[in-house]
Structure 1
Amino acid sequence: MIQLLFWGAILRFCQAGVAAIPTIMIGILVAAIFRVWLGPAGTRRLFGGSGMKSLFAAWLIGMLLPVCSLGVIPVAMELRRAKLSGGTILAFALTAPLFNPISVLYGLTLSDPLVIITFSFCSLVIVTGCGWLWDRFFPTAETEDLEASEQIPEGWRRLLATATFGLRQVTGPAMGYVIVGLLGVALLSAILPYGSLQQSAEHDDPTAILFMTAIAIPAYATPMVAMVQLASMFAHGNSVGAAFSLLALGAGANVGLIAWMTQSYGWSRTAAWFGLLIGIVVGLAYSVDGPLYPQGVEPAGHTHAFDGYCRPFSAGTANPITATWTELTKKIAPHEKVAVMLFGVALLFAIGLRLADPQQRLESWLRAAPPAAPQKFDRTIPGPVLGAISLVGLVITSIAGCYLYYPPPHEIFEEMRAINAEVIYGARTAHWEVAQHWIPIYDDWSRKLEVSQFLRSGEVEPYHQYKGQVFREYLERLEHAVEDEDQELAKELSSKVGASYTRLRKSYLEPVPLSPAINAVNDP
């Protein structure tokens, strides 16, 4: 039993870390831009100084930057160093992990747009309300401005300073808080039994919101995972309020962020902040639970959306070490593999830099070096301008990344065709582990298909939505049959999944009928 708990916690720690690495690296890059290019004064100007204006700016900037609740930690540390008000920092730290262009697009397509808009507005209420109260009761003390002593001459020195700062962050305090956040995920998985959250967010359960709030605080979810869970909860008729609590606290906060707040602001202020935050989140969750509940959705009575927070192995798992390695290697996405390799290289350089220059003499030399004599055609661009351009470029890149993350439908169908073969093979031949691995990926591609269509045409035809819904219903039934290892039922449902996939493909490649009812009889 101890071995199952230990290796299950290791798996959840590694899974969360792998998922977070891309946004952690983006967070370090954003922090480097604030430090080297904008500087403290430029950062304060970007966020509008102080007051309600800065709180709204923090919410808006947080909505645009693609970071998670772990990746936001180095950015929050840099904002505090730039002497922004505590309310502004915490408003940004809560908003940035919740939404980004990719996750919002996913949510608008697969969930009710009114829900996403309402949740976005509620997040604005949370961060502005909590931020205003924080600044009112805990005003930021004035300290000496560090701007003059931190200026670095333009050119290659500034670029080298940016890289150096990023490497320092990889082995610095920010990464320590990230590890604390990941340990919270591991501890939560050790506490929650296997599959224990499958019936924990039912709409008719008045305690679902409170229970999900307690689970969400130590949990970690990337913005994309949070949106997937949100869509799944709506599809299964779960509590809307519980979904909001999970989004606001599960994606917006983690144990590492709480640890940083405690170290920076003290126990009493941190406790007051989170008490206020939880109170507002729970209040808003109960207020939207009824009005936003989807009509016409029959509660499924269960969901697998939260299995990632529980123990990954059941009591019957024979070899948890092998199972841990298998799960970790099979479910890592291609872009995550690239991110892990890049992070590994950066970690090696960061360790070398820390060992070779523990006194940070390199940074002192970069600041002290005289600026190079201007050449005839040189034009000096101020650091804040370059920093602003970099941030805008990062936002544009994240928007452009939507087109890469959601490829054209014909490319998605090529992926789905191969996955369809794997799923049917696993279900028909009783290779349950094969089917269990590919079914969630199959479901994810079907959802990406709708987002891709929306991204390129501005809408998803009801006919396409209908075919996708039928496909996912059969896929979910097959998943349950595979979990029960019911070979006869799995064979039957695998045929229906294959047929519904064929009809889904044809619906995108052939002219759309006037009404989905025209072909409804074709779906058994």
Structure 2
Amino acid sequence: MFEAIIWGAILRVAQAVSQAAPFILTGYIVAAVFRKWIGPTNLRKLFGEGTWRALPQAWALGMLLPVCSLGVIPVMREMKRAGLSSGTILAFGLTAPLFNPLSVLYGLTLSEPFTILSFSLCSLLVVTVIGVVFDWLFPRTADLPSEEPPVPQGIRRIVGVFVAMGREFWSWSTIYILIGLTGIVLLNVILPKGSFQSSVNGGDLWAPVLMTGVAIPVYATPMLAMSQLGTMFQHGNSVGAAFVLLILGAGLNFGIMAWMLCAYGWKRSAGWMVLLLSVVIGLGYALEKPLYPTDIEAADHSHAFDVYCCPFTADETAYASQVVQKLNDDLRAEELFSLYVLLAIAVIGLAVRLIGRSFDLDRWLTSAETPNDPPAGNWDLVLPNWILGGVSIMGLVVASVAMCYAYYPSPEECLDEIFIVKGEVLSAAMSGNAPHALYWIPVWEDWNRRLQVGVYLRGMALSDYHRMKARIVRDQLEMLEHALEDDEHEEVAHYTRQLARAHGRLTRAYQPAPSSTGKL
């Protein structure tokens, strides 16, 4: 069993690092832009520091930037260095990992849009109440930081950002990120494989409290948290537990808690945690009955939380090869690219540290003379740093929105991908190759969801008819998965036929009519 736990921890941490890589990279970029281009004064203006709109503005900015609870750590550290209030920093840090354009669109097709909207507004209520109370109990007493010498325009202004990113990588930010990953190891030790499948069913009075204990050490990306919310709604799990999982599972981890302890001391950190848990659990119980879905048949268990448990059992073998195979299967192109970029940033940071022993790099970056104003008619305009910083931040938001169309392709492309995956699942199930079929079933489920989001994204609507056809396929996939796990050959054959028919009906429903314009 010890060997299973060790290899399970290695797999879970490796999966978390790969999933978090794009968000961590974004966090380092945002922190460097805040520091080198926007600066403390403009950053305080950006977040409305000292005004009534500071907390709502931090919530809104957090919803737009694509970061996770690990990637937000360097951004929070930079905000504190710039002199923002504790309430504003914590409001941003708690909101930014919860929502982004990709996850919100994904969530809108998981359940009724009213549910996702309610969760979003409740997150605003959480950060506003906690921020106001926290700033009232613990007013800021620290002096505002002085502005750093500006980096002049030209190549040095770009080099300055990469230097800041490299330095931030080799700082406490990375240590806090590593601390944030320890929660995954802890859950891998205390939760055996499949042990959390029936723990937060609807109607269970203790479900939100139990989910709180699991959600705090959990690391979940915005997309993972949103997909688990959808699974919980579809299986009739506790709505209160779903809200707790979103706020605490996606918005908090041990790394943020460790940073708070070092930055604000144990009294302030304990006070903030008490406020947070009180408001989140209270809202969870308040949302339970009003938002509980009435058009579903509650299931007695769910596989949504298997990713938080140990992935192996004691009677399994070849753990190392299984870990390598799972990582090869799960690693996405954007995750691999982000890992390579993070490695490059690490190398830059090491080079900066080595160069700094014999050369004053900061003095070189800020000592260049500012050229004279360009002559009339010259298109080579000199833009202030704060404008470049604002454009960079907005560029991240625009890129996040644009990625929605790449991540959620057109219905025709989704159906083509599903056709390929269907062949893998059905042929493996009929031939008795259960491991191969069990690998491809989640892939089919993912494309089934992306098909719905792609339709919603392009038409801003998804009819009940289309939801129903996709839901039937999802239900048949789940039944086939259970039959394969239980090694029930007759049931496998039955659900294979049922799934093939359900897929045919879904294809006809989502394909545009021959006389249409190509839009659903």
TM-score when normalising by structure 2:
0.95
Equivalent residue number for residue 259 of structure 2: 260
Q: Find the aligned partners of 2:444 and 2:154 in 1 and give their Cα distance.
A: 48
Per-residue deviation, 1:228: 0.2
Q: Is 1:395 matched with 2:427?
A: no
SS at match of 1:488: helix
Amino acid paired to 1:99:
F
Conserved in 2, the CA contact under 8 Å of 1:51 and 1:132?
no
Deviations 1:52-101 (A, max 9, x none): 31111100100111110101001000000100000000000000001111
Q: Find the aligned partners of 2:434 and 2:53 in 1 and give their Cα distance.
A: 55
Using a 3 Å threshold, how does the CA distance of structure 1 residues 287 and 491 change in structure 2: closer, same or farther?
same
Equivalent residue number for residue 99 of structure 1: 99
Q: Find the aligned partners of 2:184 and 2:491 in 1 and give their Cα distance.
A: 36
Q: Find the aligned partners of 2:430 and 2:366 in 1 and give their Cα distance.
A: 66
Q: Find the aligned partners of 1:337 and 1:80 in 2 and give their Cα distance.
A: 31
Per-residue deviation, 1:279: 0.6
Amino acid paired to 1:334:
A
Q: Find the aligned partners of 2:428 and 2:297 in 1 and give their Cα distance.
A: 29
Conserved in 1, the CA contact under 8 Å of 2:179 and 2:255?
yes
Equivalent residue number for residue 307 of structure 1: 306
Conserved in 1, the CA contact under 8 Å of 2:411 and 2:455?
yes
SS at match of 1:110: coil
Conserved in 1, the CA contact under 8 Å of 2:215 and 2:245?
yes
Equivalent residue number for residue 385 of structure 1: 387
Per-residue deviation, 1:358: 5.5
Per-residue deviation, 1:317: 1.2
Equivalent residue number for residue 162 of structure 1: 161
SS at match of 1:491: helix
Gaps of 5+ in 2: 515-520
Equivalent residue number for residue 413 of structure 1: 415
Deviations 1:402-439 (A, max 9, x none): 10110111111111111111111221122222111110
SS at match of 1:451: helix
Equivalent residue number for residue 343 of structure 1: 342
Equivalent residue number for residue 517 of structure 2: none
Equivalent residue number for residue 369 of structure 1: 368
Per-residue deviation, 1:185: 1.2
Equivalent residue number for residue 12 of structure 1: 12
Q: Find the aligned partners of 1:345 and 1:498 in 2 and give their Cα distance.
A: 46
Deviations 1:373-414 (A, max 9, x none): 444324221111221121112111111111011011111111
Q: Find the aligned partners of 1:190 and 1:373 in 2 and give their Cα distance.
A: 64
Using a 3 Å threshold, how does the CA distance of structure 1 residues 350 and 494 change in structure 2: closer, same or farther?
farther
Larger mean Cα displacement after TM superposition, 161-170 or 136-145: 136-145
In the alignment of these two chains, the number of paired residues is: 511
Per-residue deviation, 1:167: 1.7
Larger mean Cα displacement after TM superposition, 402-411 or 327-336: 327-336
Conserved in 1, the CA contact under 8 Å of 2:163 and 2:348?
no
Using a 3 Å threshold, how does the CA distance of structure 1 residues 360 and 141 change in structure 2: closer, same or farther?
farther
Deviations 1:7-52 (A, max 9, x none): 1011111111110000111111111111111100010000012243
SS at match of 1:150: coil
1:173-212 aligned within 5 A: 173-212=172-211
SS at match of 2:201: coil
Q: Find the aligned partners of 1:413 and 1:354 in 2 and give their Cα distance.
A: 51
Equivalent residue number for residue 21 of structure 1: 21
Using a 3 Å threshold, how does the CA distance of structure 1 residues 24 and 360 change in structure 2: closer, same or farther?
farther
Per-residue deviation, 1:511: 4.2
Q: Is 1:495 matched with 2:494?
A: no
- Aligned partner (choices 463, 483, 486) of residue 485 of structure 2: 483
Per-residue deviation, 1:342: 2.5
Q: Find the aligned partners of 2:388 and 2:511 in 1 and give their Cα distance.
A: 45
Per-residue deviation, 1:285: 0.2
Equivalent residue number for residue 320 of structure 1: 319
Q: Find the aligned partners of 1:383 and 1:170 in 2 and give their Cα distance.
A: 23
Q: Find the aligned partners of 1:400 and 1:57 in 2 and give their Cα distance.
A: 23
Equivalent residue number for residue 429 of structure 1: 431
Conserved in 2, the CA contact under 8 Å of 1:115 and 1:292?
yes
Q: Find the aligned partners of 2:326 and 2:419 in 1 and give their Cα distance.
A: 23
Amino acid paired to 1:66:
P
Amino acid paired to 1:272:
G
Q: Find the aligned partners of 1:433 and 1:370 in 2 and give their Cα distance.
A: 65
Conserved in 2, the CA contact under 8 Å of 1:98 and 1:251?
yes
Gaps of 5+ in 1: 513-524
Q: Is 1:127 matched with 2:132?
A: no
Q: Find the aligned partners of 2:285 and 2:34 in 1 and give their Cα distance.
A: 38
Conserved in 2, the CA contact under 8 Å of 1:74 and 1:174?
yes
Equivalent residue number for residue 30 of structure 2: 30
SS at match of 1:351: helix
Amino acid paired to 1:407:
P
Using a 3 Å threshold, how does the CA distance of structure 1 residues 81 and 7 change in structure 2: closer, same or farther?
same
Q: Find the aligned partners of 1:263 and 1:142 in 2 and give their Cα distance.
A: 15
Q: Find the aligned partners of 2:191 and 2:433 in 1 and give their Cα distance.
A: 28
Amino acid paired to 1:400:
A
Deviations 1:337-394 (A, max 9, x none): 2222332333333333333435883223212332244443242211112211211121
Q: Find the aligned partners of 2:37 and 2:363 in 1 and give their Cα distance.
A: 16
Per-residue deviation, 1:498: 2.1
Q: Find the aligned partners of 2:294 and 2:502 in 1 and give their Cα distance.
A: 25
Amino acid paired to 2:422:
N
Q: Find the aligned partners of 1:398 and 1:405 in 2 and give their Cα distance.
A: 10
Equivalent residue number for residue 439 of structure 1: 441
Equivalent residue number for residue 520 of structure 1: none
Larger mean Cα displacement after TM superposition, 309-318 or 232-241: 309-318
Using a 3 Å threshold, how does the CA distance of structure 1 residues 115 and 308 change in structure 2: closer, same or farther?
same
Amino acid paired to 2:49:
G
Conserved in 2, the CA contact under 8 Å of 1:52 and 1:132?
no
SS at match of 1:163: helix
Q: Find the aligned partners of 2:250 and 2:296 in 1 and give their Cα distance.
A: 25
Deviations 1:165-222 (A, max 9, x none): 1122222211111111112212211111111110011112100110001110000111
Q: Find the aligned partners of 1:86 and 1:164 in 2 and give their Cα distance.
A: 27
Equivalent residue number for residue 57 of structure 2: 57
Q: Find the aligned partners of 1:24 and 1:203 in 2 and give their Cα distance.
A: 35
Larger mean Cα displacement after TM superposition, 181-190 or 241-250: 181-190
